[in-house]
Structure 1
Amino acid sequence: MSRPPAAAGSGARRARCPRCGSPVLRQLVGRRAALDVTADVGELTAAAAEALRHPNRLHWCLRQTRDGPDMRWADCRRRPGPCPHPHVIDHECTGPPPAPARPASRGRARSTPVSDGQLTL
């Protein structure tokens, strides 16, 4: 089964983490229910990436296409022998936590000119 041609801009793009400023790769990985993946730029072997993986941190097979880098699900374990492609692992941010969102300010609270339960016209 062949893959359909990649749409423009569908591969990984280099960016910086907004919290810690580290260089990362960002891409929507998958066709139907795509995941918004943010991965570290450092390339690893499949075995090294597998050693760093845990349930909340996945690793991705990084392929070079004519349009640039493309992250794909790391299903290399199903193949015999080591994967020939470099792998990247999900980014674990070390930056400060984001500031809590403040509720929208509506100015000072107004009191109603009538008592509770009474309608004003």
Structure 2
Amino acid sequence: MTRRPSSSGGARQVRCRCGRPVLRQLVGLRAALDVTADAGPLTAAAAAALREPNRLDWCVRTRKDGPDLAWVDRSHPADCPRPHVIDHQCTAPPAGPPRRRTTRQPPVAEGQLTLG
């Protein structure tokens, strides 16, 4: 008999580049979604009020190894007693273009071969 694979191991709390604490987790079994959500807990109603087409809310279940984010869909109870979180919207400035690598000139005379 085949066992259903366990979750991705739950959410881990890290800091975003804007400095705020966030929860990170791959949610889903087949086409997992890389979720970065604000770590601050909300009620189910408060999280649903912040939901937008590209900003989802998540139910936070407590497992023995820590928090675990779960999808909030139509069948999720509106009066769910567990804490909820909302997708993080980073306020840090966007990263600039990657630095170009400069090539160093070898410390040998032109025309001389180097062993490398």
* TM above 0.5: yes
Match 2:75 to one of 75, 78, 86 = 78
Match 1:88 to one of 60, 65, 85 = 85
The Cα of 1:52 is off from its aligned counterpart by 0.5
Determine if the alignment matches structure 1 residue 15 to structure 2 residue 14. Answer: yes
Residues 81 and 6 from structure 1, CA distance in 2 versus in 1: closer, same or farther, beyond 3 angstroms?
same
Q: Which residue of 2 aligns with 1:25?
A: 23
Q: Which residue of 2 aligns with 1:56?
A: 54
The Cα of 1:95 is off from its aligned counterpart by 0.9
Q: Report the TM-score, using the length of structure 2 for normalisation.
A: 0.77
Q: For the Cα contact (< 8 Å) 2:45–2:78, is it kept in 1?
A: no
Match 1:43 to one of 41, 44, 48 = 41
Q: Which has the larger radius of gyration?
A: 1
Take 1:95 and 1:30, find their aligned partners in 2: how far apart are those partners?
28
Aligned alpha-carbon RMSD (Å):
2.2
Residues 70 and 49 from structure 1, CA distance in 2 versus in 1: closer, same or farther, beyond 3 angstroms?
same
Q: Runs ≥4 in structure 1, deviation > 4 angstroms?
A: none
Amino acid at match of 2:95: P
SS at match of 1:99: coil
Determine if the alignment matches structure 1 residue 100 to structure 2 residue 89. Answer: no
Structure 2's unaligned 5+ residue stretches are: 106-116
- How many residue pairs were aligned? 103
Q: For the Cα contact (< 8 Å) 2:48–2:57, is it kept in 1?
A: yes
Q: Which residue of 2 aligns with 1:118?
A: none
